[in-house]
Structure 1
Amino acid sequence: MRKVAVQNLQPGMFLEKPVYTKGGRILLDRGVKLTESYIRRLGEFGIPFVYIWDERIAEIEIDDSVNDETRLRAAEIVHESMENIRLGKGLDTQEIKKMVEDIIKQILDNSEALLHLSEIRIAGEQLFHHSVNVAIYAILTGVNVRYGEKELLELGTGALLHDIGKSRLPARILNSPEPSFFSDCEEFRNHTSYGFEIMRRENNLSLLSAHVAYQHHECYDGTGYPRGLKGEEIHEYARIAAIANTYDILVSGLYGKRLAPYQTIEYIIAQAGRAFDPKLARIFSTNIAVYPLGSLVRLNTGQKGFVIHIPKNYPTRPIVRLIADADGKKYTGNYPEINLLQELTVFVEEVLEEES
């Protein structure tokens, strides 16, 4: 399985993961043979890429830390929660916490692996899936900080609802096409305070979970909002959520240009000590698959290949199955492999969108 941008799809390719419409209904299922009309339809729905079958890495299966069914249901719960707030209702805290417990269990069952989170391709509802991803990234980080179940539940609940305050923003704010608008708009910044007020009124939610919504835009150096808190004045849950939130915004392209995972990790490390807690940024970065399984990469030697294995604690030193040599000559039938954990002078130079 490998990820291919929709503009690079060719008729005759087969889907390896379903594509969903709003509400989690399947638009195109796994195993569908793509046609020109299907590819055109994917573009019309705004789907940026899909996962397709590739015989050169046919045995590689991406075992997501949290399965599609759970992630789709969690996104539905976030959607329902925001609608309830808009209608003046309260939150179904039991359902929310049960959902977070399910996510925690799946992550703990895969705690020895790097986080693999192949994106669910879905038309619309990005905000709700963003909230789910932030919760997953935050919980994974909490596991590696060695939180107990109580702490993981508080952190995960706060992260899942970190944007609940956006339910009180007018549509003209949420639908603004300009990413820079958000950092300059005082009305948008109010979503953190709104979220805190919504969550702290719920007797069955921890106040610490509410502080995740309140503080996830605070910066380690004191330049964030709403209160300009600095360092450990920001609760550790919120410091974790700040990293998870930024990571998912950048890799999903939620408010602008989409970055590759390795580019996003480079940004987070560069911002350690400024936007982010340095210790937590380091823990986060060593537990994310920066070159996800199936990624097509170019090595500094000029060779090209697919990432087929990522060692725990060394996410930048994968095993790569080569498909072309340094001169661009393609291998056929027998694909050599190179282990970057052993070949220390070789490294990934670039992640490629398509073969050439």
Structure 2
Amino acid sequence: MVSSSISILLLCEPLLKFYHTGGRKAIPEIILSADSLCQLHILSDIKYNDRMATGFGGVFVQYVKINHLKPGMRLARPIYNKKGVMLLERDTRLTRQGIANIENFGLWGVYILEPAEPVPPLSDEDIELERFLTVSTFRLKDDLALLTNDMAPQNLTGLAQTILRDFGSLDHKINFAKNLRSNGDYVYKHCLNTAILSAMMVHRLHYSYGEQLAIVCAALLHDMGLLLVPDEIMEKGDALLSPDERRLIRGYLEKGYQLLHPDYNDYRLPELTLQLVGQLTRLEHNVKIPLQKNIRWRNGTHVLHVASMFDELTSMNLDKEPVSEIRAVRFLREHPDYYPAPFVTALTQCIHILPGGCCVDFSNGQKGIIIEENDKNYAQPVVILFSDNQRIDFTDARFQKTMHISDVMKTMDLRLKVDQETLKKYASDPHTKETAKRYQEKRSKLVAAGRVL
């Protein structure tokens, strides 16, 4: 385990120009060497253990576990309590008291901005979505706890109606919030996100209100059985599960379905909700296993299956990194038997897949930024190449034949992590070494006093 890592930032000239003209504010570090093409910076004492890096709106952030938070770190996202009251705003610099408060909130970790990063852009709609997800997660948790204890839910129908009211009538796409899950909150966050995606999809598919409500209720309940799975199995992660453990999980999903009392429905859930949850317990999530042909899969089941898999692919877990929206949609498109095209299309009409400002990698090795989103075909935006500032409109057939967008860049930050042994391979002059030593001593004193540079 590396306790102190060194991070090297190497920026080529065209990218460096864009990095600054894009409104970013770079913090000057110790410059080891510099010429007209690149700059080399040192960032020391950065621990990467138990962190996960990702991008939000082109801004590089890290998810840091509670026990690795330090005074001076800046919040990338606001923190709310279970009633929706904002406790800490974005860009708040953490103090020792603030870290203690976060621990008392029951959070597993928070999103932290890199030192040189600006506050990520969030619209009022994005901020409201953050607040709604926090409040609704607690509401759903309370209801699923009642159901697993053989008691009637109190908030389920009301929560489904609220989701339909807020998301089931939107006439524009939204930036769908990625959130990180632990084994302790995976079910609640996954079911809630699936319900929100489903609400937007059924609106695009023009289903009746009764059918929409039943589908959203089913989304909130569909993975309830996972709450019954022993922790030692859930903590393994999907890739390490044995065939016997997978069968055991299927059994718990069926048991979760039976907790809804489908035979006599004394909880008065919509009949369609019970039918959809029942079908989902029999639906394989491995695309290598053909779908059962003797079952007439309902449209609502396809809606839930598409929404659930998209959320699962793009969500962040401590044991796996998420895939980008475009890669997730590409996966769904590649398996039309499991995820029929009309339902995947409905999904892409609800959320931004490649929004403006998104930095992307191309199939020919080039990199660029999207300057104009294509609402009709997300795969054909207008982009600017970093290499020569060339403007490319992917609706032009000439470009479609030579290159395509392969993925979203994780970050504009091209730093490479190296350890102390690797750093020894780079020679520095005595003056630079002395400057670095003074800088490190000054920084150590500030950190010891609860401050950072």
Q: Could you state the TM-score of these two structures normalised by the residue count of structure 1?
A: 0.75
CA 1:55/1:4 → structure 2, altered by over 3 Å: closer, same or farther?
closer
Partner AA of 1:350 in structure 2: D
Using the alignment, how far apart are the partners of 1:79 and 1:114 within structure 2? Answer: 28
Q: Which residue pairs with 1:266 in the alignment?
A: 330
Call closer, same or farther: CA 1:166–1:12 in 2, change over 3 Å. closer
- The C-alpha deviation readout for 1:83-133, integer Å capped at 9, x for no partner, is 2233332222xx2111111111222442x3224212246775232111111
| SS across alignment from 1:67 | helix
Select the residue among 265, 274, 280 that pairs with 2:343.
280
Q: Does residue 318 of structure 1 match 2:381? A: yes
Shift of 1:313: 2.6
Correspondence 1:119 to 2:181: no
Percentage of pairs with the same residue:
16
Q: 1:243 aligns with which of 278, 298, 306?
A: 306
Aligned equivalents of 1:314, 1:18: Cα separation in 2: 33
> Is contact 2:361–2:408 with CA below 8 Å preserved after alignment?
yes
Partner of 1:230 in structure 2? 293
Aligned equivalents of 1:212 and 1:158: distance in 2? Answer: 6
Counterpart of 1:61?
123
Aligned residues: 336
Q: CA deviation at 1:56?
A: 11
What TM-score, normalized to structure 2? 0.61
CA apart distance, 1:170 = 3.1
Q: Distance in 2 between matches of 1:21 and 1:177?
A: 29
Q: Secondary structure at the match of 1:211?
A: helix
Q: Which runs of 5+ in 1 are unaligned?
A: 328-335
Cα drift, residue 55 of structure 1: 6.5
AA paired with 1:118? A
Matching residue's letter, 1:352: M
- State the Cα distance separating 1:272 from its structure 2 match: 0.9
Q: Which has the higher contact order (CA 8 A, sep 6+)?
A: 2
Structure 1 residues 246 and 318, CA, compared in 2 at 3 Å: closer, same or farther? same
Q: Find the counterpart in structure 1 of residue 58 from structure 2.
A: 2
**Structure 2 unaligned blocks of 5 or more:** 1-56, 65-70, 415-453
SS in 1 for 2:241: helix
In the alignment, does 2:247 pair up with 1:196? Answer: no
In the aligned structure 1, how far is the partner of 2:115 from the partner of 2:202? 32
Q: Which moved more, 1:233-242 or 1:201-210?
A: 201-210
Residues 304 and 281 of structure 1, relative CA distance in 2, 3 Å threshold: closer
Counterpart mapping for 1:70-149 below 5 A: 70-92=132-154, 95-110=155-170, 112-120=171-179, 125-149=185-209
Does the C-alpha gap of structure 1 residues 101 and 212 become closer, same or farther in structure 2, counting only changes over 3 Å? same
Are the equivalent residues in 2 in contact too, given 1:130–1:248 (CA < 8 A)? yes
Once the two structures are TM-superposed, the CA of residue 248 in structure 1 deviates from its matched residue by 1.0
Does 1:176 pair with 2:236? Answer: yes
* CA shift for structure 1 position 196: 2.5
Which one has a bigger Cα radius of gyration? 2
| CA distance in structure 1 between the aligned counterparts of 2:178 and 2:285, rounded to whole angstroms | 29
Contact 1:66 1:106 survives alignment (8 Å): no
